[in-house]
Amino acid sequence: MRECVIGVDTRAATYTLSVITAATGAVIDQAVFWTTPSGLDRARTWITRYVDEHAALVVIEVSDPTVRG
């Protein structure tokens, strides 16, 4: 498995996830999940399909302006 980055764009009702190759930045796949507990479980399962036992960087964009990093 190639090294990849998982990008997460957060919204109030959904999370959009993208799997990107680390070497080239090419998008491998994208999916949208509800922010419900079952939606988050599906997102975790979706990530596992690409990462398996390999290391991956997960980058999360927080859209809430009240959150400071």
* Lowest-confidence pick of 35-39, 50-54, 55-59: 50-54
Considering only CA atoms, which of 60, 69, 56 is closest in space to residue 15?
A: 60
Domains belonging to the chain, first-starting first, are 4-61 (3.30.420.300)
Query: What is the DSSP secondary-structure string of 11-66?
Result: -SSEEEEEEEETTT--EEEEEEEESSHHHHHHHHHHHHHHHTTS--EEEEE---TT
Do β-strands 27-34 and 14-21 pair in parallel, antiparallel, or remain unpaired?
antiparallel
Residue 64 has a pLDDT of 63
pLDDT digits 0-9 by tens, 26-46:
999 999 999 999 999 999 999
pLDDT at site 58: 83
